[in-house]
Amino acid sequence: QVGLAESGGGMVQSGASLRLSCASSARLFRLHDMAWYRQAPGKQRELVASITKDGYTNYPDSVKDRFTISRDNAKKLMYLQMNSLKPEDTAVYYCRSSLSGVDYWGQGTQVTVSS
């Protein structure tokens, strides 16, 4: 079992920045593909950013050029730098870790962006 703990959420104004962190308990963190998802009230959970074990990243158009995903394998941490936040970015943000077809999820951290 892998434990994931997100942190760094909060309430900010439009245009502000936040950095989310995801701490993993995985012994072989460096082999896990990682991702950030978010879920707004009444909406489905959606992919925000992903990073493979080899460091390849992917973003949907809605956050491209504003969000940056990164990882520190030595510290077993993943980050999401979010710039130019918009009210539509308001959601609970979840960390996901994947290894050999098994997904693990964190409990989420709330991000609220006011206009």
pLDDT at residue 35, as a whole number: 98
Tokens of 43: 């909406």
pLDDT at residue 27, as a whole number: 94
Would you write out the chain's pLDDT as a tens digit for each of its 115 residues? 899 999 999 999 999 999 999 999 999 999 999 999 999 999 999 999 999 999 999 999 999 999 999 999 999 999 999 999 999 999 999 999 999 999 999 999 999 999 9
pLDDT at residue 1, as a whole number: 87
CA angle, residues 57, 93, 3, in degrees to nearest 5: 85
Rounded CA separation 29/2 (Å): 9
Rounded CA separation 53/91 (Å): 26
Q: What is the largest CA-CA distance in the chain?
A: 41
Rounded CA separation 46/78 (Å): 18
Residues in the chain: 115
Tokens of 36: 């950030």
